[in-house]
Amino acid sequence: TAVTLGLPFPLANLSSTCTCGAAIDALGDHFFLCHQATAERVFKHNTLLDVFKSILAEVGIPVVAEVPLRSLGITPPDSDPNSQRMDLFFTVDGEGILADVTVRHPCRPDNSTPHHRS
Protein backbone atom coordinates (compact mmCIF):
# COMPACT_ATOMS: atom_id res chain seq x y z
CA THR A 1 0.00 0.00 0.00
CA ALA A 2 1.38 3.36 -0.95
CA VAL A 3 0.39 5.75 1.79
CA THR A 4 1.37 9.24 0.79
CA LEU A 5 1.26 11.34 3.91
CA GLY A 6 1.28 14.99 3.09
CA LEU A 7 -0.11 14.36 -0.38
CA PRO A 8 -3.85 13.71 -0.53
CA PHE A 9 -3.74 10.71 -2.87
CA PRO A 10 -6.39 8.07 -2.19
CA LEU A 11 -5.35 4.43 -2.02
CA ALA A 12 -6.31 2.29 -5.00
CA ASN A 13 -8.36 -0.92 -4.71
CA LEU A 14 -8.71 -0.66 -0.96
CA SER A 15 -11.27 -2.63 1.00
CA SER A 16 -13.72 -0.41 2.83
CA THR A 17 -13.34 -2.36 6.08
CA CYS A 18 -10.23 -3.40 8.03
CA THR A 19 -9.91 -6.88 9.55
CA CYS A 20 -10.56 -5.20 12.92
CA GLY A 21 -14.00 -4.15 11.64
CA ALA A 22 -13.29 -0.43 11.41
CA ALA A 23 -13.91 1.58 8.27
CA ILE A 24 -10.80 2.40 6.25
CA ASP A 25 -10.45 5.99 5.13
CA ALA A 26 -9.46 6.76 1.53
CA LEU A 27 -5.96 7.89 2.53
CA GLY A 28 -5.18 4.80 4.63
CA ASP A 29 -4.56 6.62 7.91
CA HIS A 30 -6.30 3.79 9.76
CA PHE A 31 -3.34 1.47 9.11
CA PHE A 32 -1.10 3.63 11.31
CA LEU A 33 -3.41 3.27 14.29
CA CYS A 34 -4.91 -0.22 14.05
CA HIS A 35 -3.60 -3.03 16.25
CA GLN A 36 -4.36 -5.54 13.49
CA ALA A 37 -2.57 -3.61 10.74
CA THR A 38 0.89 -4.54 11.98
CA ALA A 39 1.80 -6.10 8.62
CA GLU A 40 1.17 -2.75 6.90
CA ARG A 41 3.54 -0.93 9.29
CA VAL A 42 6.20 -3.64 8.95
CA PHE A 43 5.94 -3.44 5.16
CA LYS A 44 6.34 0.35 5.26
CA HIS A 45 9.26 0.02 7.72
CA ASN A 46 11.06 -2.51 5.54
CA THR A 47 10.45 -0.45 2.40
CA LEU A 48 11.94 2.65 4.04
CA LEU A 49 14.85 0.60 5.36
CA ASP A 50 15.59 -0.62 1.83
CA VAL A 51 15.40 2.94 0.47
CA PHE A 52 17.89 4.23 3.06
CA LYS A 53 20.23 1.28 2.38
CA SER A 54 20.07 2.02 -1.36
CA ILE A 55 20.77 5.73 -0.86
CA LEU A 56 23.78 5.01 1.34
CA ALA A 57 25.10 2.38 -1.09
CA GLU A 58 24.64 4.78 -4.00
CA VAL A 59 26.93 7.33 -2.36
CA GLY A 60 29.50 4.66 -1.48
CA ILE A 61 28.76 4.24 2.22
CA PRO A 62 28.73 0.59 3.32
CA VAL A 63 25.73 -0.15 5.54
CA VAL A 64 24.66 -3.09 7.67
CA ALA A 65 20.97 -3.63 8.38
CA GLU A 66 19.44 -5.15 11.53
CA VAL A 67 22.83 -5.16 13.26
CA PRO A 68 22.83 -6.74 16.75
CA LEU A 69 23.89 -4.18 19.35
CA ARG A 70 26.10 -6.73 21.13
CA SER A 71 28.16 -7.13 17.94
CA LEU A 72 29.03 -3.43 18.31
CA GLY A 73 29.94 -3.81 21.98
CA ILE A 74 26.70 -2.13 23.11
CA THR A 75 24.58 -3.63 25.89
CA PRO A 76 20.89 -3.58 24.89
CA PRO A 77 18.65 -1.49 27.17
CA ASP A 78 16.26 -4.36 27.97
CA SER A 79 15.25 -7.87 26.92
CA ASP A 80 12.78 -6.73 24.23
CA PRO A 81 13.93 -8.34 20.95
CA ASN A 82 13.28 -5.02 19.16
CA SER A 83 15.78 -3.35 21.50
CA GLN A 84 18.49 -5.87 20.65
CA ARG A 85 19.38 -4.46 17.23
CA MET A 86 19.46 -1.26 15.22
CA ASP A 87 17.96 -0.94 11.78
CA LEU A 88 21.07 0.57 10.20
CA PHE A 89 24.74 0.88 11.07
CA PHE A 90 27.14 2.77 8.83
CA THR A 91 30.37 4.71 9.13
CA VAL A 92 30.99 8.25 7.87
CA ASP A 93 34.43 9.84 8.28
CA GLY A 94 35.43 7.13 10.74
CA GLU A 95 32.41 7.68 12.99
CA GLY A 96 29.89 4.85 13.45
CA ILE A 97 26.26 5.90 13.09
CA LEU A 98 23.26 3.92 14.33
CA ALA A 99 19.86 4.65 12.80
CA ASP A 100 16.35 3.46 13.56
CA VAL A 101 13.44 3.54 11.12
CA THR A 102 10.10 4.09 12.84
CA VAL A 103 6.79 4.25 11.00
CA ARG A 104 4.11 6.22 12.79
CA HIS A 105 1.31 8.60 11.96
CA PRO A 106 2.39 12.25 12.26
CA CYS A 107 -0.95 13.23 13.79
CA ARG A 108 -1.75 10.23 15.97
CA PRO A 109 -4.78 11.02 18.13
CA ASP A 110 -3.82 11.41 21.79
CA ASN A 111 -6.32 8.74 22.85
CA SER A 112 -4.95 6.05 20.53
CA THR A 113 -2.47 3.42 21.65
CA PRO A 114 1.09 4.14 20.53
CA HIS A 115 2.82 1.29 18.66
CA HIS A 116 6.35 2.48 19.29
CA ARG A 117 8.54 2.84 22.32
CA SER A 118 9.57 6.28 23.49
pLDDT at residue 2 in the model? 40
Q: Which one has a higher pLDDT value, 72 or 38? A: 72
Q: What percent of the chain has pLDDT over 90?
A: 26
* Cβ burial 62-100 (10 Å sphere, 16+ → b, else e): ebebebebeeeeeeeeeeeeeeebbbbbbeeeeeeeeee
- Whether 20 has a pLDDT exceeding 80, the answer reads yes
